[in-house]
Amino acid sequence: MVVLAGASWLYVGAPGLAPGSVSALGSKLGLSHPAVVAAPSADVAALADEAHLSAAGKSLFYGTNPTLLGARAFAGQCGDGQAQHALSAGSTVGCFEQGTNSIVLYEPADPRLHGSVVTSAAHETLHAAWAQLTDAEQTALTPLLSAAVAAIPAADPVHAQIADSVGTHPDHLPTEMFAYVGTQVWRPGGLAPQLEATYARFISDRAALVAVYTGWNGMLEKMATDIQAASQALATRQAENAQSQAQYAADAASVAYYRTAYQSKVAQVAAMSAGQQARLELSWAWWDGTTLPMAPAQVTLARAAALLTRDEAALPPREAAIQSEAAAITTEHTRVQSLVADLQRLQKEIDPSAS
């Protein structure tokens, strides 16, 4: 019993001993793993802190000699074998291999996505934690996990993530639920007490850990929402500017027509004798609906001249405003396109198979 207890303690990373001192003990006990637990790198230690791992959680994590890899190096590391996976955007981003007690994690190059590797680190550590639970503990926790998953809205991507991670290994369902719920699901007051108590053994602040996931995932969602709102606003501006342009063209044509009509009427009146001009009265319905009532011809023509002057003065500022808005729309279109390109880059970056 003492040997078995020691073996279990050794298997989880020998909490209390400095990393690197395990291999000698392992060889004396005849254990196949962990072979050598290296002292965690600064990046790995920082990742454990950011994942809010407890002392026991850190021992588990460090005991797997976690490896952080970029997209090129990560390719092919997490096949569809017996490894438990973490998924993002439908692509594997990390795995825990129980047979070798190892964790491999994909680390996106863009620092804005650093939270994703934090989530993956905690996710894979929870797989390692699940493997350490007794059969009785796993049996007791499984229905609690099923209930927690069932309470998640159907539209939440976690359902597809769990299903994809389970794949053709239905026996992986409990550990996948344990890992996904632990890192991505939080409700005020927590979940079932027994479930939260188990998580607390490995995660010091689960609410903060879930906030890491909602933080980087929410950033991507907000970017998409902002792009949608900006695109809709841009489409509205484009439609309004096109309408303004059409109205301007119609009004400019009306002004030109009435300018010709005015000049023609002035010429006609000028060709009359003085007596005819004195007796002539005119009225005019202007293009914009303004009515010039019947009055001596010179009075009506003077009023028409004033309207024409007004109209010709009003057109250039309108045209300038339309052109200015068109330029602003072009600038905004470029901005929105850059937002789209940035989001697409991040979405590609979060998926190592695409990267």
Q: What one-letter code names the amino acid at 16?
A: G
- Please report which confidence band the pLDDT of residue 354 belongs to, taking 50, 70 and 90 as the band edges: confident
The answer to whether residue 4 scores a pLDDT higher than 50 is no
The answer to whether residue 288 scores a pLDDT higher than 50 is yes
Cα–Cα distance measured from residue 148 to residue 195, given in angstroms and rounded to the nearest whole number: 10
Provide, rounded to the nearest whole percent, the portion of the chain with pLDDT above 90.
80
Q: How high is the pLDDT of residue 22?
A: 41
Angle between helices 173-184 and 158-166 (to 10 degrees): 150
- Please report which confidence band the pLDDT of residue 16 belongs to, taking 50, 70 and 90 as the band edges: very low
Q: What kind and span of H or E run contains 216?
A: helix 206-270
Average pLDDT over residues 69-90: 79
Q: How high is the pLDDT of residue 17?
A: 45
Average pLDDT over residues 234-251: 98
Cα–Cα distance measured from residue 321 to residue 300, given in angstroms and rounded to the nearest whole number: 32
Q: How high is the pLDDT of residue 13?
A: 44
Reduced DSSP (H G I as helix, E B as strand, rest coil) percent helix, strand, coil of the chain, to 5? 65, 10, 25
* Segments making up each domain of the chain, as ranges: 1-39, 42-204, 222-349
Cα–Cα distance measured from residue 154 to residue 152, given in angstroms and rounded to the nearest whole number: 6
The answer to whether residue 297 scores a pLDDT higher than 60 is yes
Q: How high is the pLDDT of residue 135?
A: 97
Average pLDDT over residues 175-199: 96
Q: How high is the pLDDT of residue 261?
A: 97
Which of 16-30, 158-172, 191-205, 303-317 shows the lowest mean pLDDT across its residues?
16-30
Residue scoring higher pLDDT (85 or 131)? 131
- Please report which confidence band the pLDDT of residue 188 belongs to, taking 50, 70 and 90 as the band edges: very high
Distances (CA, A) of 191 to 74, 201, 202, 309: 34, 15, 16, 76
The answer to whether residue 15 scores a pLDDT higher than 80 is no
- Please report which confidence band the pLDDT of residue 81 belongs to, taking 50, 70 and 90 as the band edges: low
Average pLDDT over residues 274-284: 95
Average pLDDT over residues 97-118: 94
Q: Which residues pair with 218 in a beta bridge?
A: none
Phi, psi of 351 (to 5 degrees): -110, 100
Residue scoring higher pLDDT (227 or 75)? 227
Q: State pTM to two decimals.
A: 0.77
Do residues 149 and 181 lie in contact, with contact meaning Cβ atoms separated by under 8 Å? Answer: yes
Q: How high is the pLDDT of residue 85?
A: 78
Please write the tens of the pLDDT for every residue from 111-127: 999 999 999 999 999 99
Do residues 287 and 295 lie in contact, with contact meaning Cβ atoms separated by under 8 Å? Answer: no
The answer to whether residue 89 scores a pLDDT higher than 80 is no
Q: How high is the pLDDT of residue 353?
A: 81
The answer to whether residue 58 scores a pLDDT higher than 50 is yes
